Amino acid sequence: MNFTEITVTELATKLADRDRQYQFVDVREQRELELAALPKFIHLPLSEHAEWSLEIHTKLDKDAETFVLCHHGIRSAQMCQWLIAQGFTQVSNVIGGIDAYSDLVDRSLPKY
């Protein structure tokens, strides 16, 4: 594992930080986003990897601090590994995903 991991409370701090520019990537499916989503996230569904993977360097800055989210943290970990392999330098997986975020940060966020 070449990437770091952050908690959902650390993610909430990053989302609220107006002074720094971060990249936030959500790899869940569109139907999952319709149930629960966070602002500032770029949607790159892991299942559609073939459609967007060749353009990853135009969609994201490889040197920017990047946080990857999914439902529980498994798919986002896969994405983190792949981003590192593509030359991304500051990649973090969100432990527990949006499920933990709805438990620990924002209980108004629907669980599914």
Query: Where in the sequence numbering do the catalytic residues fall?
Result: 70
Report how far residue 19's alpha carbon sits from residue 68's, in angstroms, rounded to the nearest whole number: 20
Query: Cα dist. 73→17, 20, 57, 104 in Å?
Result: 22, 24, 23, 15
DSSP assignment letter at 63: T
